[in-house]
A and B are shown apart, each in its own frame.
Chain A
């Protein structure tokens, strides 16, 4: 909640001091940032009567001097160019510029140069440079996320851009929270080390004046980890509501696009799924599929009762009451049909792709089970005609990650089978994944089979049995967070940056995953936060991943690696 309210405060402050009719001009990134925290009707109340993107507004020539322009942009060189052009041909009465991150002096100089008519009233930096998608969750939504996989020598300039964007985003988060953290990172990951060091440089050296908040309480902890420490979580099929919708259909900026799924009435083609505005979603976003079904049925029954009572209109009083309650009724109707549509859609997909079967094997591969049984199960599923390509690839990858070192012969057999069955995905991708995220490259104990204590814990869990076979997997992040709560995060695995050591217990931890977060991890964070352990966790990443997105990143990285290898 704290991130959402921080961004809302920034937007409020932007708009409140400027009176009169305003137009809000955003760029493609800031539009996501603003749209997840502010609604159109709220903007209208603040007298913002037009919202535009900066590249489309430069095409039009209409002069609207009765409007005051409020620009909220990222300080990229492209945006500065657009601004210069617009300042030299001004269309609005006043110009108020807000940038979501730190401006360089040269950029300010360029802007001042174009403002010949002195129409710019203020230039401010408001550090809302991240998308606050959920409470305790932010993302940077980087378009070219795959660069984290490649070593620095392959494409240094793009990697530098990637790092810069990550560091800018992290800096903005801490400026919005008004804290300066102690930074730790995952030892085996070069990119995590790089991001950590550059963030430390930014916060403690380059802009130390800006970050110097002079607070007496304990600094929060920023932990930078690499997605490749836990490649299993993005590959699994999900069964909790929010994660499942994202995995099977896809969510973008809290909106779900259902247009591709056949004939739906117009107002259901694109729906909003936000925990702040939808009480049912908020209560059910972390529930598993079976429970959701029951809750939806209950909601539909309630709604049917209300609808029936609405049909019993006898007197004028009843009519008046009906008209009074109509907006509520309509909202409820919209909500019910939205959730029913989503769940129907997902059930259809689960049925088509036989996901119950696939997921059972996946969970076995991820959590426990012997190698022989696993091999048999995977082979059977590969032979099954109904399984889609992506699920086949998923299974082989999970098997390869788990049983990388045991019985390479059987692994080769699986690769060959995958090659013969699947036209779209080549086993080369699996080998690429192993090279990047294999057992030698990972920090932390993904399968619980390195540390004696973990092995014992696993055996105990196996004997006790699990509540639900489909949701038994726990992301590696949970172990990391538990170690932090106990204060036992090993220095050897997660070294500190600089000389700032932890004094006393942290109360706020921000975990930044380079490469992307998943909704399953968000669920673990929400559960830990609710359990009152005394520490508040916030999760952030360069993107939000589902299987498709993770595989796309791998493929793109593989292409670049291959072309560079050929060149060399």
Chain B
């Protein structure tokens, strides 16, 4: 595919025009709202002042009347930090998932120890990941904004994208857990079969010992299973919450112009509401009452005067 870069020509024109403009920059410069003075010093001081002003304006409700001149280099709004935090959490969770995969594989390999180390490692990792996901999900809810504005759209979209990532991670985690569980169960059964076969060949006293050990193994397995089931439940909850935010691929909501047009309509709606409010207020009953009372006062005064005159 062919493209052509016009930036060189553009920069050339821009520099040429800047050179032509500088010697004549004075109060008539249309952008800077400051007047007169030695141009060089003036520009330096104004730019300093402007940047100072934009640093104080952290919230997105800045009317921006003074910072129209320079491209505002202020700090981004606070929700950007929240989204950055969530993104780093997602990255961390992804790294831990890779570790978890490895730990699962190691635990499933037949080993001579009782594998408690591996189990603890797996539990540790799983709980850490689940915590990360839960925390991220809570922070995600904070990103919701109210009111129709472009900024709220940006926030909503950021929310959507992070929600998609979180949902993918939680699905992956659940799949990993379920396969691990299945394989564990398989191994237990094989182990139990083996035990039963061996049992048949042993004498009675050793049977009890074997039974005890089998019993312990079963208990441990059950414990593992219940823990895993619990974390599965937690994740299912998270998935439910997230699914509301995520877009389905291929549906109309996934179409770009649907989103653009929606913005237009919500902004219009947003304009209508305060207009309506203004109108109802103007028609308020208070004004009516007050005017009626004043008129009544005048009428009574006139009647009084007339009574005095004719009496």
Contacts and interface: CB of A to CB of B under 8 A. Distances in A.
Interface in B245-296: 247-260, 263-264, 267
A35 B251 contact: no
B250 A103 contact: no
A313 interface: no
A178 B161 CA distance: 35
Interface stretch (B7-15, B103-111, B190-198): B7-15
Interface stretch (A51-59, A182-190, A240-248): A51-59
A308 interface: no
B269 to A, nearest CB: 14
Interface in A80-125: 88-90, 92-93, 102-103, 105, 108-109, 111-113, 115-125
A77 B4 CA distance: 20
B255 A39 contact: yes
A271 B251 CA distance: 7
A125 B8 CA distance: 12
Interface stretch (A5-13, A361-369, A509-517): A5-13
B68 A255 contact: no
Contacts of A255: 252, 255
B264 A66 contact: no
Contacts of A117: 70-71
Interface in B144-175: 149-151, 153-154, 157-158, 160-161, 164, 171, 174-175
Given A44-B160, A127-B1, A271 B252 contact: yes
Given A66-B76, A175-B2, A210-B2, A40 B254 contact: yes
Contact of B7 (A31, A34, A65, A124): A124
Contacts of B67: 63
Given A31-B260, A53-B260, A127-B1, A63 B72 contact: yes
A108 B74 contact: no
B258 to A, nearest CB: 7
Nearest to A335: B250
B264 A119 contact: no
Interface string A439-479: 00000000000000000000000000000000000000000
Nearest to A317: B178
B250 A125 contact: no
A450 B254 CA distance: 51
Scoring A38, A63, A316 by chain B CB atoms within 10 A of each residue's CB, the highest score goes to A63
Interface residues of B, number: 68
Contact of B161 (A44, A90, A271, A324): A44
Nearest to B21: A116
Given A125-B6, A127-B1, A49 B255 contact: no
A50 B3 contact: no
Interface in A116-141: 116-127
A111 B10 contact: yes
A52 B9 contact: no
A31 B256 contact: yes
A491 interface: no
Interface residues of A, number: 82
Contacts of B257: 31-32, 35, 253
A278 interface: yes
B254 A108 contact: no
Nearest to A31: B257
B64 interface: yes
B80 interface: yes
A40 B253 contact: yes
A23 interface: yes
Interface in A26-48: 31-32, 34-35, 38-41, 43-45, 47
A93 B255 contact: no
A334 B13 CA distance: 54
A563 interface: no
A125 B256 contact: no
A169 B278 CA distance: 49
B2 A127 contact: yes
A485 interface: no
Contacts of A327: 243, 248
B232 interface: yes
A278 B252 CA distance: 13
Interface in B14-44: 14, 16-18, 21, 30-31
B80 A66 contact: yes
Given A66-B80, A175-B1, A56 B264 contact: yes
Interface string A190-204: 000000000000000
A380 B37 CA distance: 89
B73 interface: yes
A536 B59 CA distance: 57
Nearest to A53: B260
A277 B71 contact: no
Contact of B154 (A38, A57, A67): A67
Contact of A331 (B1, B175, B250): B250
Contact of A93 (B31, B71, B164, B175): B71
A351 interface: no
B99 interface: no
B60 interface: yes
A116 B153 CA distance: 29
A210 B70 CA distance: 37
A45 B249 contact: no
A35 B255 contact: yes
A61 interface: yes
Contacts of A127: 1-3
Contact of A63 (B7, B30, B62): B62
B260 to A, nearest CB: 6
Contact of A9 (B1, B16, B263): B1
Nearest to A331: B248
Interface in B62-95: 62, 64, 67-68, 70-74, 76-77, 80
A272 B249 CA distance: 11
A123 B154 contact: no
A52 B260 contact: yes
B203 interface: no
A315 B171 CA distance: 20
Interface in A326-344: 327, 330-331, 334
B201 interface: no
B1 A39 contact: no
Given A39-B250, A65-B74, A123 B6 contact: yes
B239 interface: yes
A125 B3 CA distance: 6
A64 interface: yes
Contacts of A334: 248, 251
Contacts of B150: 50, 52, 57, 60, 62, 64
A177 B243 CA distance: 40
B3 A88 contact: no
Nearest to B68: A89
A52 B263 contact: yes
A378 interface: no
Contacts of A50: 150, 153-154, 157
A552 B254 CA distance: 32
Contacts of A253: 257
Nearest to B261: A53
Given A39-B255, A40-B247, A116-B31, A210 B4 contact: yes
B236 interface: yes
A88 B31 contact: yes
Nearest to B2: A175
Nearest to A119: B71
20 contacts: A31-B256, A34-B256, A35-B255, A40-B254, A50-B150, A50-B153, A56-B267, A63-B62, A64-B150, A92-B71, A93-B71, A105-B9, A116-B18, A116-B31, A117-B70, A119-B71, A126-B3, A272-B251, A331-B249, A334-B251
Given A119-B71, A124-B5, 5 more contacts: A51-B259, A63-B62, A121-B7, A123-B5, A127-B2
Kindly list the 4 A-B residue pairs having the minimum CB-CB distance in the complex, ordered from nearest: A66-B76, A112-B13, A44-B161, A112-B14
